Chains A and B, each alone.
Chain A
């Protein structure tokens, strides 16, 4: 991962990335209000965790699509490819930075609960912290995998929209996976979000977090798998650009 500090400049100057951070508290208010009014205190953990997961997913996906597209639009892609740093680590650095920033969402949500509703106790703080970090890693890997998809598409933005809500549902971000049709549930299991959200909700709840290490390992494993695919695909993209000369400098 290269140039964290330098990538920061690029990210800082792209207004789009900040919308999700700003929307996060609003979502938190809405979700918490719905659950409280419905008297579903058992689902408060959902309400507080859904917005930050949505923030993380949206921001990471946005950067994964934009990173390559922007480099191409600005005519920077070829010069970047010809630099000594592999393009995969340039992209990974940028995505990793944005994902890290997106973790602010967890703090925002928690503060919203504290200020406007009842404080949400974090019963297992270490498990929670480990879960958040593992999720951020998996998110970075997944986004790199996605960037490989986006790079082939000319309609990145439409693609990105299609990529959000279905995944929130499949990943158990908005509703528990048990609510989904049975045939679709196995699909959830290959999406790191479903493991992450489950793990974090359990770490907020009273009682032991069962199978903690296995579940944490699944989050990391799914993230690493996506990262490997993404790394490979970015390499392929590089090869293709060099072979076809598709991206012009001038």
Chain B
């Protein structure tokens, strides 16, 4: 049995103020997904892909319009209580915390909502504060916290009931690189403890670093489930080189490099698109040998990967 099973799940939102003139937004379109027990599964997609919608449905906070989903064998619509006992939820962002309370108080409050006996709630709150590195701020009001600190508190909150299944919705938004790195270790620990994790993100590098498998989603549709290796290859393949003060003659030579697909040049500043890691190396070498000092490589955005791999043109970059 998969820890999470999603079958033909569809969700339509009705928007607009007036009842009659409501517009339909198709947020999930017959989505199917299986998350194996003990797996760290990534849900990778750009803004508006439907990631949060899916997580909300799985966590019983939102009803599906059609289709079904289950967590640890329990239906998310008919057996909400069974599901709620088994899951932890972490929603990203600034919101979701009582500003005037301290992390310790907030965690104890949630421990009560998850029906933990008081002593357990108290010890577990303290352990989790330690675990997410907030010990120093355990008794400070949350209103003074940075986004990353709030995010770590969100994580602790999601773990309060010691759940076998965790839903993490963009858990690293707002974290600095160091915290984000700690977060990766934390996810590895969660996996080692035998927990199942479903993590949404729009960051390919993050998905590649922490997930066992990655499901790609865009505009409510699943595009496929891939290994982190495949995603890493996409990132390498579609890497581009950006440089300043490049002589025209050098641009011509780079254009001729095998694997260079496109060059944008504007008064000596160039962007070199490639479709092969070797092409990046060759282009870089030409630039360095040609005396160009201002240059860098840039990983492709998720939108670019979707465009190249799936031919999906979203007509925008986020």
Residues of chain A whose beta carbon lies under 8 Å from any beta carbon of chain B:
2-3, 5-7, 9-10, 13-14, 70, 74-76, 78-85, 90, 241-245, 249-250
Contact = CB atoms under 8 A, between A and B. Distances in A.
23 contacts: A6-B105, A6-B111, A9-B105, A10-B109, A74-B98, A74-B99, A76-B95, A78-B62, A80-B113, A81-B60, A82-B87, A83-B110, A83-B113, A83-B114, A84-B113, A84-B114, A85-B112, A243-B63, A245-B56, A249-B52, A250-B52, A250-B91, A250-B92
Contact of B91 (A70, A83, A90, A249): A249
Interface of B: 13-14, 52-53, 56, 59-63, 81, 84-85, 87, 89, 91-93, 95-101, 105, 108-115, 118, 157, 161, 169
Contact of A75 (B95, B101, B114, B157): B95
B56 A78 contact: yes
A10 B161 CA distance: 21
Contacts of B59: 82
A54 B108 CA distance: 33
A13 B115 CA distance: 23
B91 A9 contact: no
Given A3-B113, A84-B113, A249 B108 contact: no
B114 A82 contact: no
B99 A245 contact: no
A85 B60 CA distance: 13
Nearest to B115: A84
Contacts of B87: 82
A9 B89 CA distance: 23
B46 to A, nearest CB: 14
A241 B63 CA distance: 9
B62 A9 contact: no
A13 B100 CA distance: 6
Given A9-B108, A249-B93, 12 more contacts: A2-B112, A2-B113, A6-B108, A7-B109, A74-B99, A75-B93, A76-B95, A82-B60, A85-B112, A245-B56, A250-B52, A250-B93
Contact of B61 (A2, A70, A79, A250): A79
A74 B95 contact: yes
A75 B93 CA distance: 10
Contacts of B13: 244-245
B101 A9 contact: yes
Contact of B63 (A75, A80, A242): A242
